[in-house]
């Protein structure tokens, strides 16, 4: 997944049009479209501006992972993080509690599989 794919997914999760976002960045919609389709690469200043306006870090936007490939996020994990960041604080707390509960109960005695909690 390229930077453009990540930008597109974040825009979709925030229900923000490409045109609106291009205006926010003060760039042409065609330029943003080039980034989103991975036909053009933004310079570092534009990347910083995109990350700032989307409320994500450059590491997140570029999918930089200091722990190596084994710790890279797959598409589903990445989407969960993007969607999580759109939630209200109370909702984030509820999700975190649910994940902790599921993690604690996952695999106990070998009875719980991938699809059961």
* String of DSSP letters for 72-86: ---HHHHHHHHHHTT
- At residue 116 the predicted structure's pLDDT band, cuts being 50, 70 and 90, is very low
DSSP 8-state assignment for residue 26: T
Closest by CA position to 16, among listed 54, 58, 48: 54
Q: What is the mean pLDDT of the chain?
A: 82
CA 90 to mean position of chain CA atoms: 20
Q: Please determine, for residue 66, whether its predicted confidence score (pLDDT) is greater than 70.
A: no
pLDDT top residue among 102 and 31: 31
* Whole-number pLDDT of residue 61: 82
**Separation in Å, CA 60 to CA 30, 47, 74, 108:** 24, 11, 13, 33
* Size (the chain), residues: 117
* pLDDT (tens digit per residue) in 27-54: 999 999 999 999 999 999 999 999 999 8
DSSP 8-state assignment for residue 36: H
pTM given for the model: 0.60
Virtual CA dihedral for 77, 16, 21, 35, nearest 10 degrees?
Answer: 40
Vertex 114, ends 84 and 68: CA angle to 5°?
A: 60
* Whole-number pLDDT of residue 2: 81
């Amino acid at each position: 997944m390229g930077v453009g794919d990540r930008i597109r997914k974040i825009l979709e999760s925030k229900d923000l049009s490409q045109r609106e976002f291009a205006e926010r960045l003060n760039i042409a919609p065609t330029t943003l479209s080039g980034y989103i389709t991975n036909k053009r690469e933004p310079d570092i200043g534009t990347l910083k501006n995109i990350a700032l306006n989307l409320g994500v870090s450059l590491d997140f936007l570029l999918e930089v992972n200091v722990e190596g490939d084994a710790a890279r996020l797959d598409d589903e994990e990445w989407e969960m993080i993007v969607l999580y960041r759109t939630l209200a604080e109370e909702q984030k707390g509820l999700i975190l509690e649910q994940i902790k509960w599921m993690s604690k109960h996952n695999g106990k005695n070998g009875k719980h599989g991938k699809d059961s909690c």
